[in-house]
Structure 1
């Protein structure tokens, strides 16, 4: 951690006026803070997020960045060092983009598989979540960029997230939901914490003094900045006195002049404001935003990473090949092989491969919401397979079914401004009498753009010239709220109205409603006009719009028959099913666990048509798979990021699938212990289950694939396990005994009760990777106590030493059970 001269920070604080101090405590805009010349403070820049830094813009102006595998994929590696590598790479990219504060990681738990941000969180288990978070935070901050652990606390679902009251008893809060945040503070030394939208036990989290000040700052010793989730702060005195330090976004908010007046009237002590400013100055010193303070003092040097002195105007440079290779390796490490009847790895010399499924033609690299970033390019599975299989293998592609409701953005080059001929649209702001106030060119990518509305604007007009690829029935979708009128030559005007309810501005911006119009036209250019009467009763004077498109296509029956014909003729059929960023997204939870559309039927029919079928599920959270035992192999790819297509192809052809499930996959919805995420009529979301979430609560017969499950391309024999009382100082040395020297580090480098040595053997004929898991059996239940990833050559016997997390007090006997998943634990030893 950078060394901080606290006396210097106090001198800078003393040079600031009260108004300068208070101005610093609310964002200057959505993503930056106000610079303070008297303190030598540059404008701190904040950016989402968990799958890569987006920069200080959102929408069509977003610069290209790196798109990492989803956090759940990172957790599936079950390896703190892998998390550190991902964090360090992300932190370096953030610095290149001029970002001081990265709004990641998300350490809320997988309480229900319906949670909309399930893909953005790590696991259902607090220990696994803690270890991945600690590694990631250390990696980010090693680059001189602040990590922000979020959302503190109880924001484990999205339904009514702005208002629901999470009722969590003290024991459950301490043993399940607070530990990842505590590890982030006490072990990783995180520099920022984000307070959530929701309430906990009756108190809004931005006003929760017991948790923000009592637990976080006083008990855990947190010396960083507590920032509100965007628009979460809604009061002045209560939030200021509770321990909130920074209100985002700005420039509006509940503080400003109201906080100045509260200090001057004595309702908020001046030292409370000073403490907040001091924390922001400390954050600036750590991230290189203070004049005269070295940007990376005390931090290992990073070749090619600049020091930050403000917010640069240029985007990050193109992604070098070695970085793409590292992103691909991260996706491979997270890929989970759920079943394999010997078909994988695919053999060489395949003549014909049928690539089938909706996610084969609409591959999903990331989930939706504020975490969304724009990569330079996403490698599709088709591109990856062509690379590894070569020109001698014919690959046919068929969607099979069309389950995804929202249309994709307009293809590049399809839309042109009718006045300038540039790629994009012409946007006009008009008054009630039709007078054009402003007219401007807009790039439609990534297919929507926010628009700030002046008071006199009554109508927006979007005009564009679309080059249609074929004649027939076209589908054009319109995004946003308000009344929409679509005018297409040769078709009657079409109307649609949709109003946004509630005050969750993030929901409007991140998951806006859409409506699909249809029209008939021939191939070639056609002028389209969209008239928008914007909704005015929103909390912010903003609207957004965008266009999506789907060309003429055959019926579902014809597409399915074409896919089955291709499957029958192929040496191997590869079926990609799953979800997309509209289904798994911030601001809404899923309504069920059945794959959208007719995907289940597609899998079953392809498996019947070709017994040599591999199914790849491209999704960020669990979905039901009633057909799971029908394909010859089943691979879970998660949302694997920009290099995901290459990673999938590599795993299918022999790269070791490194992932193990960080969450339990249920057999049916009825088997899920906690399914509903909807608060009751009083707005209460009752966590009455206590610590019985995830694998701790499932009945064995209700589990399709257990927590920790994942296959290797080799086989492992677990030989013996014994506990060792040698880790009182928290350090765990790993060792490997066998024909190849090496070392394996244990998973717990914080407080431990000792360690366990596990001896296992690679009994196969390939090198392999195994995740050895240790569970404490206590009071009739299992709890993950430690883990370690290990690699071994064919025939090699290794001994892995794992640090064991402290157990909760109990008078009963304690046993450690060791194995490869929560349901496969062949070894037992007595816990110390």
Structure 2
């Protein structure tokens, strides 16, 4: 982002009064920054949206009464998908509702994400929006999480790369992005108070890694902190998170924004590195004013936030451009294409799909979702779609030569048993039946986690009954995340549509009839049952703490390390064609510190139709220094191939891709006997593999203390000779006698000083030994060099 000259920024901030500074680092109303007219500083407008622009005409256009703003904000957050109509969308401006993150993540396509960013930017500019509050990339740690539908994946590589694509598209067109929610917003239960308690390895390797990756690849102009405390400290008030890691380690120079009303201690948030408090809050501004007047607020920290916001505002204003009417029809077609290329074909026995040669055939469509589709989740990201494809209409348009019957199936549609019997009777007369199934709406969304992963009442029984007719049975699933499928072995085909946006109806029809070859791959693991979910036994936490008990073994890593068979594995997705992999080569003979590894292989389409294949690169450590996942995704790419076409794929693995975070040394470390580089179609479908030996980094010597066991002391390469010389000099012994004293401690399991004291009593004090050990640890003693 182009920034204004630092000296000029400092000069403008120096002209601000204390009251203006307090206003400037606080929102103005619900969706604006504060303008300071006397200094020529305008306001910018921001609004929600990761998969669509949610522009509220009353909230943004009508001013900034704080009470009204808070009421409006809560009304948005608390809306549920089943409210429908005005209850769902209120006074928001119609816009394109693109596929939600849960489906876009299955595209594994960064170019699609970039096109989405460009389209969102166009709609923002048409409405006068400078900053769009997204994308959200929290790890989908549990499918129960109420906001899982907004997020891309359980893996930081997929999450980070897709987010970077969207941010590049959005900011390249002049609209700012806000990467959120930093960090560990993985549950909606008491979300502003429940501490996400996560060990540092899991934080570094899983939960922060996607943010780090997205920032490195796209430089978002803002980062939004999370509602929840992280390891006991509010995310918006964590200096470790926002300054030590984000700014000092990662070099981030943009603006940190709070989530709406997330700050509890405003002065602490300033000191931690939160620049802009959103939205406007009289009480929080009063607390900041009081801290400043009492001398409890670091004035330089306040000025620093003012400079960042000023640079950001001026840069955004400079990127405003006059735009004509947005081509919403073109955006609708993009929404259709995105959904069609992201839908996941989970199962397709005996080539049940695509549906072909429909003349004279009878298709039974069952389920209210065919005429009233759920296209998105609930909460602040909800978009008012300007049009919605009705799946049944789209199916009829593509199969006009077939006889298509429809029957709704809903809890409020009468006795479920009678509805199932009616559906079975009609299925016996049909050639195939398409069931629209969905999770229970209304019990998930922002502010509320799901209570289970079951389908809506009666739908499992309906599907089971339909399979008993012998009629080909196809299930199309709408869901925020995983659902249980107890009937999976009995149906012929299953399509996972997640939340497909306003073009989902046409997208599904195109996939069903082979107009589009499905190429989506799961970006999360689907469990067989709710008890298989990683960390389920400590979810959702208690007494204000939510322990991430699975640590680094999130998602597929957990299923692998426990040898648990998932319903469908991470990365899984079928096609109407077939792909083969071959000719893997690497440009290195070993994995060595600081050097990348480049691999090349071929993937070919051996089928009869055009298709796209997502190739996934996993790294599997062999005899690592610490416990590590069986394998981890490190790169991916998507390839479009005509029938008979073969592509040569080149992928570079960076040094970091082989490392883990060593909490003992506080740095990324390379240590293993070897690594298997695996080219895969999913985490459980490894197609090619090459093992490379590893030249590990030297193991750092342990820090030793007088209470360390002799085994630990002697594992330090300089400890034994230093001890021997010390004992010779201090006790006036010969070298052989000193060596016997040292050897006499080796079998002890208690502290070294206690073990030595059995032989020498108090001839050497513990303090003297501590001084020696400090010198060994710091390598400061001349005789140790």
> TM range, normalised to the smaller chain?
0.7 to 0.9
Q: 1:581 to 1:401 in 2, by over 3 A?
A: closer
Aligned to 1:718: 581
Deviation of residue 202 (structure 1)? 1.6
Structure 1 residues 769-799: Cα deviation after superposition (integer angstroms, max 9, x where no partner): 1111111011461100211111212122221
Deviation of residue 318 (structure 1)? 6.6
Indicate whether 1:389 and 2:408 are aligned.
no
**Partner of residue 706 from structure 1, selected from 569, 577, 589:** 569
Indicate whether 1:754 and 2:615 are aligned.
no
Cα contact 1:71–1:121 (8 A) shared by 2: yes
Aligned to 1:445: none
Query: Once superposed, which parts of structure 1, at least 4 consecutive aligned residues long, lie more than 6 Å away?
Result: none
Aligned to 2:534: 673
Aligned to 1:321: 329
Cα contact 2:478–2:496 (8 A) shared by 1: yes
**Mapping 1:163-312, distance limit 5 Å:** 163-254=193-284, 256-288=285-317, 293-295=318-320, 305=323
**Mapping 1:371-450, distance limit 5 Å:** 371-390=381-400, 392-402=401-411
Indicate whether 1:362 and 2:360 are aligned.
no
Cα contact 1:82–1:330 (8 A) shared by 2: yes
TM-score (norm: length of structure 2) = 0.78
Deviation of residue 683 (structure 1)? 1.3
Cα contact 2:122–2:326 (8 A) shared by 1: no
Indicate whether 1:117 and 2:147 are aligned.
yes
Indicate whether 1:140 and 2:148 are aligned.
no
Q: Quick check: 17-26 or 204-213, which moved more? A: 17-26
Aligned to 2:719: none
Cα contact 1:792–1:798 (8 A) shared by 2: yes
**Count of residues paired in the alignment:** 638
Aligned to 1:535: none
Q: 1:564 to 1:752 in 2, by over 3 A?
A: farther
Q: Quick check: 275-284 or 821-830, which moved more? A: 275-284
Aligned to 2:752: none
Deviation of residue 752 (structure 1)? 8.1
Deviation of residue 3 (structure 1)? 5.5
Deviation of residue 359 (structure 1)? 2.1
Q: 1:233 to 1:752 in 2, by over 3 A?
A: farther
Cα contact 1:152–1:196 (8 A) shared by 2: yes
Structure 1 residues 385-409: Cα deviation after superposition (integer angstroms, max 9, x where no partner): 122223x43332222342xxxxxxx
Aligned to 1:813, the other structure's residue is in SS state strand
Larger RCO of the pair (alpha carbons < 8 Å, separation 6+): 1
Aligned to 1:348: 357
Cα contact 1:336–1:660 (8 A) shared by 2: yes
TM-score (norm: length of structure 1) = 0.73
- Distance in 2 (CA, whole Å) between partners of 1:752 and 1:108 is 30
Cα contact 2:157–2:213 (8 A) shared by 1: no
Cα contact 1:146–1:283 (8 A) shared by 2: no
Q: 1:282 to 1:580 in 2, by over 3 A?
A: farther
Aligned to 1:300: none
Aligned to 1:634: 494
Structure 1 unaligned regions, length at least 5 = 297-303, 307-316, 403-549, 729-750
**Partner of residue 118 from structure 2, selected from 88, 95, 110:** 88
Aligned to 1:335: 343
Aligned to 2:160, the other structure's residue is in SS state helix
Deviation of residue 266 (structure 1)? 2.2
Structure 1 residues 231-255: Cα deviation after superposition (integer angstroms, max 9, x where no partner): 111123212211111111224341x
- Distance in 2 (CA, whole Å) between partners of 1:612 and 1:752 is 53
Instruction: Supply the RMSD in Å over aligned alpha carbons.
Output: 2.3
Deviation of residue 692 (structure 1)? 0.5
- Distance in 1 (CA, whole Å) between partners of 2:510 and 2:542 is 50
Aligned to 2:468, the other structure's residue is in SS state helix
Structure 1 residues 121-152: Cα deviation after superposition (integer angstroms, max 9, x where no partner): 11111111111111111111112111111111
Higher helix share: 2
Indicate whether 1:781 and 2:644 are aligned.
no
Aligned to 2:346, the other structure's residue is in SS state strand
Q: Quick check: 587-596 or 328-337, which moved more? A: 587-596
- Distance in 1 (CA, whole Å) between partners of 2:464 and 2:55 is 43
The structure number with the bigger radius of gyration is 2
